Amino acid sequence: MHFDPVLLSRIQFAWVIAWHILLPAFTVGAASFIAVLEGLALATGREVYVRTSTFWIKIFAIAFGMGVVTGIIMPFQFGTNWSRYASAAGQVLSPLFAYEGLTAFFLEAGFLGVLLFGRKLVPSWAHFFAALMVAIGTLFSTFWILSANSWMQTPAGYEIVNGQFIPTDWIKVIFNPSFPYRLAHTAFAFFTTTGFVVLGVGAYLLRRNRSVQDARIMFSMALWALTVLVPLQMVIGDMHGLNTRKYQPAKLAAIEAKWDTGKGVPLTLFAIPDDKAEHNKFAIEIPYLGSLILTHDLHGEVKGLKDFPADQRPPVAIPFFAFRAMVGCAGLMLALVLLGGLLRWRGQLYDTRLYLLACQCAIPLGFIAVIAGWFVTEVGRQPWTIYGLLHTAASVSPSLTSHDVTLSLFAYVAVYLLIYPTGLIMLLRLVRKGPVETSESAPAIEAGLPGAPVLAPAINVVKGNV
Q: Does 123 bind another protein (CB under 8 A)?
A: no
Contacting range for another protein; rule: CB under 8 A; set: 34-42, 235-243, 382-390, 411-419: 411-419
Asked if 460 touches another protein (CB under 8 A), the answer is: no
Q: How far is the CB of 26 from another protein (least distance, A)?
A: 15
Q: Using the rule CB under 8 A, is 408 a contact of another protein?
A: yes
What minimum distance in Å lies between the beta carbon of 221 and another protein? 25
Half-sphere exposure of 30 (CA within 13 A, CB side): 25
Alpha helix positions (H), 208-248: 212-247
Residue 62 as a binder of another protein (CB under 8 A): the answer is yes
Choose among 250, 13, 11: nearest CA to 149.
13
Query: Does residue number 364 form part of the binding site for another protein (CB under 8 A)?
Result: no
Q: For another protein, which residue of 17, 18, 61, 272 counts as binding (CB under 8 A)?
A: 61
Query: According to the binding rule CB under 8 A, does residue 92 interact with another protein?
Result: yes
By the 10 Å C-beta count (0-12 exposed, 13-18 middle, 19+ buried), 445 is classed as: exposed
- For another protein, the binding residue among 95, 262, 328, 364 (CB under 8 A) is 95
CB nearer to another protein: give 281 or 399. Answer: 399
Under rule CB under 8 A, residue 430 binds another protein: yes
> Closest approach of Cβ 64 to another protein, in Å?
8
Exactly one of 44, 94, 406, 465 binds another protein (CB under 8 A); that residue is 94
- Closest C-alpha to 304, from 258, 270, 245: 258
Q: In this complex, which beta carbon is closest to another protein, that of residue 114 or of residue 461? A: 114
Q: What is the DSSP string of 80-137?
A: HT-HHHHHHHHHHHHHHHHHHIIIIIHHHHHHHHHHHH-TTTS-HHHHHHHHHHHHHH
Is the Cβ of residue 176 or residue 280 nearer to another protein in the bound state?
176
400 in contact with another protein (CB under 8 A): yes
Interacting stretch for another protein, rule CB under 8 A, among 31-39, 332-340, 362-370, 391-399? Answer: 391-399
Contacts 24+ apart (CB under 8 A), 167-171: 167/91, 167/92, 167/95, 170/95
- Asked if 111 interacts with another protein (CB under 8 A), we say yes
Tell whether residue 15 is a contact of another protein (CB under 8 A): no
Distance in angstroms (rounded) separating the CA atoms of residues 259 and 273:
9
| Residue 257: burial class (beta carbons within 10 Å; 0-12, 13-18, 19+) | buried
| From candidates 43, 98, 160, 269, binder to another protein by CB under 8 A | 98
The nearer residue to another protein, 57 or 371, going by C-beta atoms, is 57
Q: Which residue number, 242 or 419, has a Cβ lying nearer to another protein? A: 419
Q: Per CB under 8 A, which region of 69-77, 186-194, 218-226, 244-252 contacts another protein?
A: 69-77
The yes or no reply on residue 106 touching another protein (CB under 8 A) is: yes
Based on the shown chain and the rule CB under 8 A, indicate whether residue 389 belongs to the binding site for another protein. Answer: no
Residues 254-293 binding another protein (CB under 8 A) are none
The single residue among 29, 37, 108, 193 that binds another protein, judged by CB under 8 A, is 108
Q: Identify any residues that bridge with 279 across adjacent strands, giving them in sequence order.
A: 274
Secondary structure letter of residue 299 according to DSSP: T
381 binds another protein (CB under 8 A): no
Give how many residues touch another protein by CB under 8 A.
71
Q: Applying CB under 8 A, does 167 fall inside the site for another protein?
A: yes
Nearest to 78 by CA among 67, 89, 69, 68: 89
By CB atoms closer than 10 A (0-12, 13-18, 19+), residue 106 is exposed
Say whether residue 170 binds another protein (CB under 8 A).
yes
284 SS3 class: strand
Based on C-alpha coordinates, what's the Rg of the chain? 23
Q: Going along 275-323, which residue ranges are E strands? A: 279-286, 301-302
Give the C-alpha distances (Å, rounded to integers) separating 340 from 282, 336, 366, 456: 37, 6, 17, 17
Least CB distance from residue 256 to another protein, whole Å?
A: 37
**What residues contact 369, with CB distance under 8 A and at least 6 apart?**
189, 192, 193, 325, 326, 329, 330, 333
Among the residue ranges 165-173, 226-234, 241-249, 288-296, the one whose residues contact another protein (CB under 8 A):
165-173
- Contact call for residue 117 and another protein (CB under 8 A): yes
Contact pick of 14, 18, 91, 389 for another protein (by CB under 8 A):
91
Identity of residue 77: Q
- Out of 232, 423, 437, 465, the residue judged to bind another protein by CB under 8 A: 423
Structure letter (DSSP) for residue 306:
G
- Give the whole-angstrom CA distance, residue 408 versus residue 248: 32
Q: Is the dihedral of CA 439, 440, 441, 446 positive or negative?
A: positive
- Near another protein by CB under 8 A: residue from 43, 121, 239, 449: 121
Residue 113 interacts with another protein (CB under 8 A): yes or no: yes
User: Using the rule CB under 8 A, is 365 a contact of another protein?
Assistant: no
Residue 182 beta carbon to another protein: minimum distance, rounded to whole angstroms: 21
